[in-house]
Amino acid sequence: MRAVVQRVREASVTVDGVVVGRIGAGLLVLLGVGQGDAQADVEYIADKTANLRIFEDDGGHMNRSVRDVSGAVLVVSQFTLYGDARNGRRPGFSSAAPPEDANRLYEAVVTRLRESGLPVETGSFRTMMDVALVNHGPVTLLLDSRKNF
């Protein structure tokens, strides 16, 4: 499982002109589910996201988590995080999980984040979405449950 985690002042997801998810300060998480991902991957990504210390403390150091700053999380499914563009000009997506598995594990991440006490909004699985954000910092991190990066 892969995630692009961005510290934001605000973020939203719109589908067909309708806002389906919106947060103020917190984290935008673009989440990709790969072939063979399971509950351990869900736990790794959700727990890492909830506890990443990427918000500044009073001294200006990144020592606070999204929980510590009473932030929210917007989770958006993005299978293209498993796009392989090493050969040719058109990426292949064979490493992405099938939609049924991906949706189940995506929902599991959302549930785990909510169970940790965080307010969580979502995009809309398998739809064309417009994602808007104000990246604060900017701070952007890449997470991979298999620790490939």
Residues 65/7, Cβ–Cβ less than 8 Å: no
Task: Note the pLDDT of residue 142.
Answer: 98
CB 37 within 8 A of CB 145: yes
| Burial group, residue 59, by CB count within 10 angstroms (0-12, 13-18, 19+) | exposed
User: In terms of C-beta density within 10 A (0-12 exposed, 13-18 middle, 19 or more buried), how is residue 136 classed?
Assistant: middle
**pLDDT tens digits along 82-130:** 999 999 999 999 999 999 999 999 999 999 999 999 999 999 999 999 9
DSSP bridge partners of 141: 5
149: pLDDT confidence band, cut at 50, 70 and 90? Answer: confident
Residue 10: pLDDT band (50, 70, 90) is very high
Taking only the tens place, the pLDDT of each residue in 71-92 is 999 999 999 999 999 999 999 9
- pLDDT band (50, 70, 90) for residue 43: very high
Cα Rg of the chain (Å, integer): 15
Q: Which domains does the chain have, with CATH numbers?
A: 2-144 (3.50.80.10)
Q: Model's pTM, two decimal places?
A: 0.97
Residues 6+ apart with CB under 8 A from 113: 46, 49, 50, 73, 75, 120
How far apart (Å, rounded) are the C-alpha atoms in residues 62 and 99?
36
